[in-house]
């Protein structure tokens, strides 16, 4: 027969075991919860990095400054950096980029019925671009204005993507993806016939933006291989054959993270940008 003292001890043991079981279960749930939170935070951090170094942009609220252009979903950042490829480009010309700024979009001065070309004389070779003047007059007029002020001269092309989308991004005097001319441009030509099946074809030149409407500034991207993107970035030019060879040479050198989205290994500097009638 179980004595009262033995019964008391048995009940105490059972209570202790129940407490231990509850604590073990609580710890298991906490580990699971923390694991889920860590996974979510990881996605948020990677997504945030993609939005800012996917280059397309920061909106400062009043849309006065174009930042880095998020032209795409960001590439995975988990890959380890690879060895740097040889630099196929020459040294930049003497001089440095001027960080100029204006309060509003320049007045329309181009002939919107005429044909214009943009020439980028880069350290890697010349890139000629036929501009879509009538389809994107605000954008072309802005490039004519900025090029005339020497805004693009001595600027680095700061971003190259080699996974998911295939673009070289340029147009920021800061070289960080966060700079702009101080004003923004309206979206144009988003129904261009070349933009089929949410794809920007190789040879397209388009404006970067903040991910919001009408937030283009001075940053732009050159597509060296068909890239899946929504029609949200003003296509305003087409690269000539010689320019595509230069662009492919830059792309072949890769980018510096090994993850598919970083600064180009090639020293891509626009020594001089000019716009003229063709």
219: in domain: yes
Query: What's the pLDDT tens digit per position in 166-189?
Result: 999 999 999 999 999 999 999 999
For the entire predicted model, the pTM comes to 0.74
Q: How many domains does the chain have?
A: 1
Is residue 278's pLDDT more than 50? Answer: yes
275: in domain: yes
Query: What's the pLDDT tens digit per position in 109-125?
Result: 999 999 999 999 999 99
Give the structural domain span for 162: 54-278
Q: Where are the alpha helices (DSSP H) in the chain?
A: 4-53, 137-148, 241-252
In sequence order, what are the beta bridge partners of 222?
168, 205
124: in domain: yes
26: in domain: no
Work out the number of other CB atoms within 10 angstroms of the CB of residue 127: 26
Tokens of 5: 């003292």
Query: What's the pLDDT tens digit per position in 51-103?
Result: 333 444 333 334 444 434 445 444 444 444 555 668 999 999 999 999 899 99
23: in domain: no
24: in domain: no
40: in domain: no
Residues 165, 224: Cα–Cα separation, whole Å: 9
Residues 193, 105: Cα–Cα separation, whole Å: 27
Say which CATH number the domain at 88 has: 2.40.100.10
């Amino acid at each position: 027969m179980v004595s009262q003292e033995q019964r008391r001890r048995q009940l105490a043991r059972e209570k202790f075991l129940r407490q231990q079981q509850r604590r073990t279960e609580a710890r298991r749930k906490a580990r699971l919860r923390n694991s889920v939170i860590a996974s979510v935070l990881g996605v948020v951090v990677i997504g945030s990095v993609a939005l800012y170094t996917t280059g397309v942009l920061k909106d400062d609220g009043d849309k006065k400054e174009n930042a880095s252009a998020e032209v795409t979903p960001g590439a995975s950042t988990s890959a380890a950096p690879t060895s740097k490829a040889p630099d196929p480009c020459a040294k930049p010309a003497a001089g440095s980029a001027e960080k100029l700024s204006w309060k509003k979009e320049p007045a329309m001065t181009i002939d919107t019925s005429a044909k214009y070309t943009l020439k980028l004389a880069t350290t890697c070779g010349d890139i000629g671009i036929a501009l879509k003047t009538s389809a994107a007059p605000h954008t072309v007029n802005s490039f004519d204005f900025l090029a005339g002020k020497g805004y693009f001269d001595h600027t680095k092309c700061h971003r190259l993507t080699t996974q998911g989308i295939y673009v070289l991004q340029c147009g920021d005097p800061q070289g960080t993806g966060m700079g702009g001319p101080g004003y923004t441009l309206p979206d144009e030509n988003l129904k261009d016939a070349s933009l089929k099946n949410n794809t920007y074809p190789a040879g397209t030149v388009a404006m970067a933006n903040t991910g919001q409407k009408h937030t283009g500034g001075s940053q732009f991207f050159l597509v060296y291989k068909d890239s899946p993107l929504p029609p949200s970035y003003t296509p305003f030019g087409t690269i000539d054959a010689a320019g595509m060879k230069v662009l492919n040479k830059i792309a072949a050198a890769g980018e510096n993270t090994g993850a598919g989205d970083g600064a180009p290994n090639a020293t891509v500097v626009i020594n001089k940008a000019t716009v003229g009638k063709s």
